[in-house]
Amino acid sequence: MDLTPYVLDFKPGWDRHFKDFDKGVQQLILKKFEHMKQPLQARGLHGSRYRVEEVGGYRIAFIQDDLNRVKHIHFVANHPQYEKWYSGKE
């Protein structure tokens, strides 16, 4: 198993909802980003290429590029916002 850490790549607009969260929630999510640099597997998102990490009632949706060791962060939101996003209603 390759233990090389991943680089996080934040896509434009990833923080659309994040910037409105209170500081405590933002801190929890920022801690999770540090954890996501480790070479651990996340669960897949309903058969799509996206993977999901959970932070309490919040979700981080990203695409994992194992070849280049990059996790592309696309979306961070609470669960109702996340459901709208993945159902294409946002």
> What is the structure's pLDDT at 37?
96
pTM for this structure?
0.89
Q: Any idea which fold 7-86 has? A: YaeB-like fold (3.30.2310)
> What is the structure's pLDDT at 6?
96
> What is the structure's pLDDT at 63?
95
Which ranges of the chain have pLDDT less than 50?
none
The domain locations on the chain are 7-86
Both tokens of residue 6?
A: 């991943």
